[in-house]
Structure 1
Amino acid sequence: MRKDELLNAAEELLAEQGAPCLTLSAVAERAGVSKGGLLYHFSTKEALVKGMIERLVADFDELVASQQESSYSRAYLAATFVAIRSGRLRRWAVVTGAAGDPGLLAPLREAMARWHREGMETESDPTAAQIVRLACEGLWDVTTHDPGFYGEAHYEELHRRLLALLASP
């Protein structure tokens, strides 16, 4: 069994039953493997949560890198809207909810700091770029807690307005 399948099983379990139900036995059962099979890849619950967080960061990094945009902020914005529309942001809520130990969130905190520093020296208006990136985080938060809060037309308008902030001053 691949690590991604085990991580998927853990995320599904978290989304359906919450953090208190995340046990190695429950994840192994959900994934259809023995507990030993799970332990081969993730020796502790903390290692499993850390694996989910690391995958979350890598997934967003890949999404940003795949955008064909002229600046990092524009790629970050485009990746945010791809993540919102594809339902990928569900992971943010379930994974961060599972990390009761602040130390487990260290890779995410490091990624957030990197995402906020990345490319700032080449932005024509660094303050506007920071505002857009912070707005993206606000969208992540709203859509993870209430996915139906905004309709598609509202997302289009938000995207358009945030792009306008990134225009040359």
Structure 2
Amino acid sequence: MIGTKKSKARSATRHALLQAASQVVLDKSVEALTLDAVAQQAGVSKGGLLYHFPNKDALIAGLIEQLVLDFETILQEEFDRDADPGTPGQWVRAYVRATLRSHQQSLALVASLSTVVATNPELLQPVQAYEQRWRQKLETSGIDPVRATIIQLAIDGLWFAETFRLGTLDEPLRTQVVDALLAMAQEHD
């Protein structure tokens, strides 16, 4: 019981530190993300921060991992609330809807962290394992794997455009594109 309480406390502290790091990036910039700034934002000592994240790269990796875990949670929620559970394409439809539910704060954080990841691509290694699992689920969702991949690439492209504010779609075109992707994920061969 005591071990569980300590584990929960560590997890809560780690989460609070990641929230503080997110705030530093969002309020200032990724360049302002220092261990000192995060410790100050979180109201902990630098030693307390170093206990959970031994360096800045570990902190950034933690932020990236948290973004992926948040997406995984949304993905499961969308899978569970699918209007046609157990039908082919359910996982693909969940992926489309989960991608669309990305929070503005998460989008801003991803955009900011992209500069760091560009110079240190090793930080994305944990994401690649998730990406592989998502791809496998897309390809085995019960619809044509090529169609599932096209849907994923299209929704990822829309997400990318909105994240980096590149050629975003106006309404009603955006809704029509999303509806078409969801319809493609509903079609059976």
TM-score (norm 2): 0.78
Q: Is the contact made by 1:14 and 1:21 (CA closer than 8 Å) also made in structure 2?
A: yes
- Separation (CA, whole Å) in 1 of partners of 2:111 and 2:132: 19
Shift of 1:152: 5.3
Shift of 1:49: 0.9
- Which of 133, 137, 151 matches 1:132? 151
Q: Within the alignment, does 1:103 sit opposite 2:122 as a pair?
A: yes
Shift of 1:119: 4.3
Counterpart residue number, 2:161: 142
RMSD, aligned CA: 2.2
Q: What is the identity, as a one-letter code, of the residue corresponding to 2:115?
A: G
- Separation (CA, whole Å) in 2 of partners of 1:163 and 1:117: 19
Q: What is the identity, as a one-letter code, of the residue corresponding to 2:17?
A: L
Counterpart residue number, 1:168: 188
CA distance 1:148–1:120, change in 2 (3 Å): closer
Shift of 1:54: 1.1
Shift of 1:14: 1.9
Q: Within the alignment, does 1:116 sit opposite 2:127 as a pair?
A: no
String of CA shifts for 1:43-92, please: whole Å, max 9, x gaps: 11111111111111111111111112242111101101111xx3233332
SS at match of 1:168: coil
- Separation (CA, whole Å) in 2 of partners of 1:154 and 1:31: 42
Q: Within the alignment, does 1:75 sit opposite 2:75 as a pair?
A: no
Q: What is the identity, as a one-letter code, of the residue corresponding to 2:113?
A: V
Counterpart residue number, 1:37: 48
- Separation (CA, whole Å) in 1 of partners of 2:39 and 2:166: 29
Q: What is the identity, as a one-letter code, of the residue corresponding to 1:89?
A: L
String of CA shifts for 1:136-162, please: whole Å, max 9, x gaps: 211221111129934453432221011
- Separation (CA, whole Å) in 2 of partners of 1:156 and 1:121: 26
> Structure 2: where are the runs of 5+ without partners?
1-11
Counterpart residue number, 1:94: 112
TM-score (norm 1): 0.86
CA distance 1:57–1:139, change in 2 (3 Å): same
- Separation (CA, whole Å) in 2 of partners of 1:139 and 1:73: 15
- Separation (CA, whole Å) in 1 of partners of 2:171 and 2:43: 37
CA distance 1:122–1:44, change in 2 (3 Å): same
SS at match of 1:146: coil
Counterpart residue number, 1:57: 68
Counterpart residue number, 1:156: 175
- Separation (CA, whole Å) in 2 of partners of 1:39 and 1:152: 46
CA distance 1:34–1:150, change in 2 (3 Å): farther
Q: Is the contact made by 2:99 and 2:155 (CA closer than 8 Å) also made in structure 1?
A: yes
